[in-house]
Each structure stands twice: as structure tokens, then as C-alpha cells.
Chains A and B, each alone.
Chain A
Amino acid sequence: MKLKNKILTSLLFVLTLFIWFPIVMLIGGAFMGSDEINRNVGPVLNQAQGMAGWSLLPQYPTLRPVVELLLDSPNFFVMFWNSCIQVLPVLIGQVLISVPAAWAFARYHFKGKNVLFTIYIILMVLPFQVTMVSSYLVLDWLKLIDTHLALILPNIFSTFPVFIMVKFFKAIPQSYLEAAKLDGANEWKLFLKIGLPSASSGILSIVILGFLEYWNAIEQPIVFLARRKDLWPLTLYLPDITGSRVGVAFAASVIIMIPALLLFLYGQQYLEQGIAASGLKE
């Protein structure tokens, strides 16, 4: 039995290597000199003779790509802060809008609630490409195209966080709320003193899920900020890089990964709860 377990574990470990390989390649590439990179991927990027290859660890490690990125690429930082400007207000806005909305869906009975919630779910499952043209036309009518608000405003009113928070709020026992009511708590207090603390992990999970989604968004910035390169977020930095700066691209990928990774590690347990609550996986 033990042997069987060991074999199974080893097999799974080998499988995980396939997942780890791109990350190892990324980190290795970030510390590789341009000659070595060109030797490895030149046949792909520069139409050089031969076949492309890769060594897991750099033969002659160098910090040059990282230094070039961090000290000689002001574009990278402009895009980094653009990403921050486009993501942080969305997260704050989502918490302010979706949490009370979800409380209303979970706690109150009103006419048309089910219909409204169904519409929410339909909106949630529609991919961006479906709503892209209509969104563009509305944003253009509001004169928001080519501004940060073109990304911020629609995302603040995203339906996904409402969906998650409803699940969290519904999980609060009714008897608990009734007991609080008997003790004299009004609706506002119920929301602030019981609803919010009980669903804090849900709030954190929507923040983390939201961050991962918008930090990695590509289609929206490409469509809504097409004419304003100075507003582009970090996700559009890599497509902008030429074959001669592949090392910088690897270094940039590593840096782009850091905040998402740190936030994921910070809120891993909340994120798991959030995914469990939504029943979805991004």
C-alpha cells in the first residue's frame, strides 16, 4: 500500500514539473545574457539558422536584463502605475457596490429579486467579447474611451463579486440575525456588525480574485485605450517588446508576476473560500 502511495506521489511530482517548467524557464531567462538567449531562441525570433532550444539554468548568469528593465525602461514603470491606477479603484469600488448589493439579495425579499439575480448571473457568464461592441458604444457616448475610467467604471459594477458575496451572506444563520434583532440591532447594525465581519473572508476573496482578473486584463485595454499608449497597463508591455530585448521580456514577466503572486499567497485561504463559494474557477 505504502509502495503504491509512493509511486503515485512520485508520478504526481513528475506531473507538477510540467507546471513548474514555464516558471523556471521565465526566471532562468530573466538572468540570461542576450547572446545566450539569441542562441537559444534566435531561430524562432530572428529567423536564424538551426533549432530553438533552452537550458533550464543560464550558463553565464547576468543581471543585465533586470537592470535594463528596472533602470533603463521608464515605459515599464509608466505601465506598472497605469495598471495600479486601473485596478485599485476597481477593487475599492467593487467592495463599496457589490457588498451592499449582495446583502440586499441575500437578506431581503422584494418583487423581481429572482429575475434581477438571474440577469446578474447571465451578465456574469457573458464573456467580454460578447459585450465588447455595446460597451464600446456606451463608453464612446459617455466620452470615456481612451481614459482610465473606460476600464474602471464598467468593472466596478461587475456582477461576479455580487454573486460570491450573496453566497457568503446567505451562509449567515438566520437565528443569529434574529437574536441580534431581539437585542435591538437595526438593519444597518445587522449589516455592519454581523454581515461584514462574517463575510470578511468573502470580501478578501473578491478583492484577490478581482485583482488577478484586472491585473491580467488584456482585451479591455487594447479595445478601450487603443489610441492612448500612455494609458496602457503592464499586460501590454510584453507584446511591445522586440526580438532584441527578449531578456528584458523575461525580467518584466517576473516583475509582473510578483504582486499577483504575493497577493495570492497573502489571501490564499480566502481565495479558496471564494472559489468554493462561487463554484467556479477562473
Chain B
Amino acid sequence: MVISMEKKIKKLIIGFFIMMVALTLLSRIAASAMVARVGVTTGQSGALAYEIDGTGVVNANAKKYIELQSGYEIGSVSVKEGQQVEKGDVLFTYDLEKLKEKKAGLELELQKLLFSYEKQQLADMDSSKGAEQAKNNAEEDLQLTQKELQDAKQTVKKNKEEALVTAKTAWEANVSSKNTAVKAADRAVADAEGELAELMKQQTTAQEVISNYKTAVMSGDNAAVTKAHDAIFEFYYDGKYSDHLQSIDEMKEKLKRAQEDLKDIQDKWDLAIDKWDQYSGDIKVKQAYNQQIMSRDIEIKSADRVIADIQLSIGKLTQKDTQLDQAITAYSSFLLQSITTYAGNVYDDLYKLLFDDLEAYEKKLSTAETKLDRAKEDSKQTTEDWNKKVAAAYTEVEKLETDLKHIKEGSYDYQQDLQDKETGLRAAERGLESAELGLEKADNTDKAAEIDLNSTGIDIKLKKQEINKLNKIIKNDGKINSPVSGAVQTVELEEGLTLSGQEKLVICTGGYELSMKAYKDAMKNFATGDEINIKTGEGQNKLSTTIENIEAADSEGNVSFTALLPEGEYTSGASLDFELKKNSEDYDMCLPIQALRQDKKSAFILIAKETDSVLGSVRTAFRLDVNVISQDANKAAVETSLSEEDLVIISSSKNISEGDRVSVTEGE
């Protein structure tokens, strides 16, 4: 039952995962199908091109509108309405004093503007120059550091080469020293070995002579026994046994002679002394006798002493021989009696006798053995020490050779040697990055400064134009001449009047003008004096003239404006096509008209912004409010926080709003 339930659950788990796979695919497909595909563009700086096309009507009795300078004061008026004027006649005069005052004021303003312009220029230059200089310095620093690093690499190579030479010399010196030291140590060992061998040789020889004696005794060969016996003595006397015997013989000879001398003395005094004299009554005889006896005793005593001395010497010389003989005899007896158990003691006694001081000899032997051991240890230690030194020196040589090989192949790791330099290099690189950032920032600041500068430049230009115009008028003593011939239609001027801009002075020229209309929004970009092209007839003949007058907008928002037609043949009431074209100033951000959207709040655009989401990096529509400064038929200049990299949505396969996921169509 449990198993069956487990199987069912297992199936359910498998089924669940299969279902999740299927639903994953389905949801992906659905999401992919539902996502809007959008065309995008980026915002760019540029100028707008204003254009108005239309048709105007030709009117007879064209009106020339005399340009009046707003803010100027009229000195005198020379014409009246209905008066006929010729080209060049004085129409009116400005107040010359006021003109000069105005000119002085304008020049002052111009001066201020020029100063301001210069100041902006300098600031701009300073900021970009400073950043440029900082960048150049940083680049120089980097180059220097790179060079230092390169030089340091060369230095590393040179140092390694020098170190290799030193290391090789040290290695060779070590090898040589090792040989000397090892040789000395070996010699000490050999000496100790020689010394020991010498001592050992005595021992061996002693054992050998005893052994030979034993062999001789055991063989029963008397001649051999004698020889072996002599050999023992020979050993004891270190090969000088015969000298020893000779010494004994000499001593014995001396003894014999001394004994003979004693006898001669006794005989001499026996003959010389008359025993009877001791009984003589003559004191002198008696004294002479006693004197003789005393001399005889002295001589005999002296001779006896010589004999005793010689006998003592002989005893001394033969004492050891006697002991040896006894020991040999004892040993021989024990050998012959085959009492092997005692032979050891007898052997030891004999052996001991062979050395004057066995204890001293054995001590010497032990000392020699210790000396040899020490010499061997010293030799071993010396060899090991020197081997280590030589190996270390060779390792250093090998390391340096490998390093140099790697340096030659370019695979050497300079990290250890150049750590400091590389830290410096990294600092220099960071410095350069920082300087580049500074420069970039300065560039951005420059752009803003450039705009300000351009704006001031325009102000200066306008001011200069106004001053020029004023100069011309002043030069003409404030007089304004008629540019055309005709009848004065309207004069709204009077002496002492300061012009507000609403006044008019109109002269009917008798020629033709084109009267046109355009919507106020389109017309707001144009002003009197702007060029206008007029098509005449079927062909492509074009006339070029300027806008003469622009009226205020009517209730429908239409603005009427006129342009004087050049001399020619026109039909009053005829229609002529016209074309007005003008480029705006440069704007920082221009967008296609399609990008602009409008809701109740404001104008806005949607940008396809990349965001990190659960689905990975996706693009979503992001609203950005804009302020439209101006627009032409295709583009609009806007104020917004848009950057040049942002993708502005200009078309979409679906209606999209902020937050919707979008897919950017390639190639748009």
C-alpha cells in the first residue's frame, strides 16, 4: 500500500517537473511574443531647419516700412503724411546727443562683454590646459617609470652576471679549500693509523714470538727452541739482544779485571808489610806499619767497591734476562706438561715481561685508537662541511645561470626584483588614469563653458552691430534718409518721442508687394529682413527678397507678412509661391519628432534602458520628461538629462508605456 502510494507520488513529482518545463517554454514564447519591438536613436547636437511654404498674393502700391530703432529719441521729423519723397530725402532725425549717450552706454556694455568673453576664454583655457598639462605630466611619469622598470631589468641582468662571476669564484675557492682541508684531515687519519699500526705491531710481534716459541717447544726441536728463545729476547731488546749480551760480557770482563786488581793489591801489600813491625819497639817503625796497613785497607776497599759496582751492573743487566728465562722456562714447562689450563697465566706473565710497562703501552694504544677515531670523525665532518659549502656555492651558480638563461629567453619573472618599481609603475598608471578622467571632466566642463562663450560672443556681435548702426546714424548727424521714392502714407513720429517699437513710418513706393500668411507657431522663428524666395511663372525662376513687415497674429492664429517685389512685371491679385528657409542656432540635444510624447503633465520621451532583472539583462521603457525649446518639421531641440549613449525610442510595434519590456530592433 505504502509502495503504491510512493509510486504515485513519484509519478506526480516527475509530472510536476515535466509540466514546469512545458510552462517555462510557453511563458518564454508568450513573453517573447508580447514584448514590443522598438526602433531607437540617440540624441545629437545640431541646428534645426525652419521652413515655410505657401502662396501669397501680389498687391499693387507696395509699402516700404522704414526701420525704426526702439529706445531712440526723435530729434525732428521732416515729412508729413501724404508728402512725396525722393530716395535719399531726410525723413526724420534722431536726437544726436541722446544717440551719443546711447553709444557711450553701448560701448561700455560692449567693453564689459569683451572682458567677460576674455575671462571665460582664459578660464576655459586654464581648465583644459591644466588638465592637459596634468595628463602630459602623468604620461611623462608613466614613461619614466616604464623606462626605470626597463633599466631596472637591465640592471637585474647585469647584477646577475656579476653575481654569477663572484659565485663561480666562490665555488672554485670552496672546491680548492675543500681539497686542502680534506687532504689535511686524511693525512691526520693516516698518521694516527700509522701510529696505531706501529703500536699494534709491537703487540702482534710479542704474540708472534711467544707463539713461535710455543711451536718450537711443542716440536721438541732444541735448535728451534733456542732460536725462538733468542727471538723473544731479541724482541724484548728491540733487535739489540746481541749488544745486550756483549754489554754483559764486557761487564764480566771488567769484573774479572777488578778481581785481579784486588789480588794484585793484596799481593803487593803482603810483600811490602812486615808483620813484625807491629811488635817493634821503635815507634816510628810501628807508625810506618800502621800507615801501610791503613793504605792497604783503603786500596782494598776501593778495589772491592769497584767489584761490587760491576757486579751490581751485571745483576741489573741480567735481572730482566733472568726473569724472562724463568718465565720462558715456566711457560715451556707448562707447555711440555700439557697443562693447558695454566698456560694462560704463564703466557700472560711472559707477555707482560715482554713490555717494560704494559699498562703504559696499553694506554698508549688506547690513546692512539682514540686519536684515530677522532681523526676519522674530523675528516668526515670536514668533508661534509666542505661538501655543503661547495653544494651551496654551486646551487647559487646554477640559480644565477638559470636566471640569466630565463632573462635571455624573456621568461624571467622580475616580480621579486622589480616589486618596488612595479608598484611605482602601477601608481603612475593610476596617475595617468586620474589625469585622463580629469581631462574628460575638463572636456565636459569645456562644453558648458563653450556654450557660455558662444552666447557671450553672440551678445558681443549684436552689440557691435548696434553700435555700427548707431555710428552710421551719428555719422549722418542722426538723419535717416528715405530708401525709396514715393508718398509718405503713415507717420507716427513726433519730436522728443522715444520709440517704443510700435510706431510706424510707411512710404508707398508705387511698386508691387507679395502679401503672405503663415501660422503663428511656424512664423515665430522668422523676423523682418529674413530672406524669402519667390517663384515666378511656370519655370523654376526664383526671386529673392526680404520680409518687409510682419503683422500681429489674427484670431485664428495666422500671421500676415509682406515682402517688396523687385522691379518687374506683375499682375495685381496674382498668386505666387514663396519659400522661407532659416537655420536655427546650434542646440545641444536634438531628437526626432517621433520620439516626443505628450501626456497631461508634460512632454516626455521613452528610452530603452538596460536593467538587470531576473531574466538577465533586459531593456525596459524608461520615461524622461523633456522641455521642448524649438522644433522644425523633423526634429525638436529639447532640454533634458539625456546622455548621448541613451537609446531613445522612436517607433514601436506595440503601444508601450513606462516600465514595459522592449526589444531593440537591430539596424534602426
Contact = CB atoms under 8 A, between A and B. Distances in A.
A78 B9 CA distance: 25
A151 interface: no
Contact of B23 (A75, A77, A237, A240): A77
A227 B612 CA distance: 9
A269 B13 CA distance: 17
B339 interface: no
Contacts of A262: 9, 12-13, 16
B24 A230 contact: no
A125 interface: no
Nearest to A258: B16
A265 B24 CA distance: 25
Most chain A CB within a 10 A radius of its CB, from B5, B6, B30, B614: B614
B16 A77 contact: no
Contacts of B410: none
Interface string A76-96: 111111000000000000000
Contact of B28 (A74, A263, A269): A74
B31 A74 contact: yes
A271 to B, nearest CB: 13
Contacts of B13: 259, 262-263, 266
Considering the complex of A and B, which 10 residue pairs feature the smallest CB-CB distances, nearest first? Answer: A77-B24, A75-B614, A266-B9, A74-B31, A230-B616, A74-B27, A262-B13, A70-B23, A229-B614, A78-B614
A266 B10 CA distance: 7
15 contacts: A70-B23, A71-B23, A71-B27, A71-B30, A73-B27, A75-B613, A80-B20, A80-B24, A229-B613, A230-B617, A232-B614, A237-B614, A262-B9, A263-B13, A266-B13
A230 B612 contact: yes
Interface in A201-259: 227-230, 232, 237, 240, 258-259
B27 to A, nearest CB: 5
A183 interface: no
Q: At the interface, is chain A mostly helix, strand, loop or mixed?
A: helix
Given A72-B30, A262-B9, A266-B10, A78 B16 contact: no
Contact of B27 (A70, A229, A263, A269): A70
Interface of A: 70-81, 227-230, 232, 237, 240, 258-259, 262-263, 265-266, 269
Contacts, number: 63
Contacts of A75: 613-615
Nearest to B12: A262
A202 to B, nearest CB: 17
A230 B20 CA distance: 18
Nearest to B14: A262
B658 to A, nearest CB: 15
Contacts of A240: 614
Nearest to A79: B614
Interface in B1-18: 2, 5-6, 9-10, 12-13, 16-17
A230 B23 CA distance: 18
Contacts of B28: 74, 77
Contacts of A70: 23, 26-27
A259 B19 CA distance: 12
A25 B6 CA distance: 28
A258 B6 CA distance: 16
A229 B616 CA distance: 7
Contacts of B27: 70-74, 76-77
A269 B2 contact: yes
Interface of B: 2, 5-6, 9-10, 12-13, 16-17, 20, 23-24, 26-28, 30-31, 34, 612-617
A77 B20 contact: yes
B9 A72 contact: no
Contacts of B2: 269
Nearest to B20: A80
Contacts of B615: 74-75, 78, 230
A143 B310 CA distance: 112
A229 B612 contact: yes
A232 B30 CA distance: 22
Contacts of B31: 72, 74
Contacts of A73: 27
A76 B26 CA distance: 12
A232 B613 CA distance: 10
B185 to A, nearest CB: 47
Contacts of B617: 230
A230 B6 contact: no
A236 B28 CA distance: 20
Given A72-B34, A229-B613, 12 more contacts: A71-B26, A71-B27, A72-B27, A73-B27, A74-B28, A79-B614, A227-B612, A230-B615, A230-B617, A232-B614, A259-B16, A266-B6
A26 B585 CA distance: 64
Nearest to B26: A71
A22 B636 CA distance: 57
Contacts of A72: 27, 30-31, 34
B609 to A, nearest CB: 15
B290 to A, nearest CB: 115
A78 B614 CA distance: 7
Nearest to B9: A266
Most buried by B among A77, A81, A240, A258: A77
Contacts of A227: 612
A81 B21 CA distance: 9
A227 B616 CA distance: 11
A67 to B, nearest CB: 10
Contacts of A74: 24, 27-28, 30-31, 615
Nearest to A73: B27
A72 B6 CA distance: 33
A249 to B, nearest CB: 15
Contacts of B6: 266
Contacts of A78: 614-615
A238 B9 CA distance: 27
Nearest to A81: B24
Nearest to A70: B23
Contacts of A263: 13
Contacts of B30: 71-72, 74
A75 B12 CA distance: 24
Nearest to A232: B614
A262 B15 CA distance: 11
Contacts of A230: 612-617
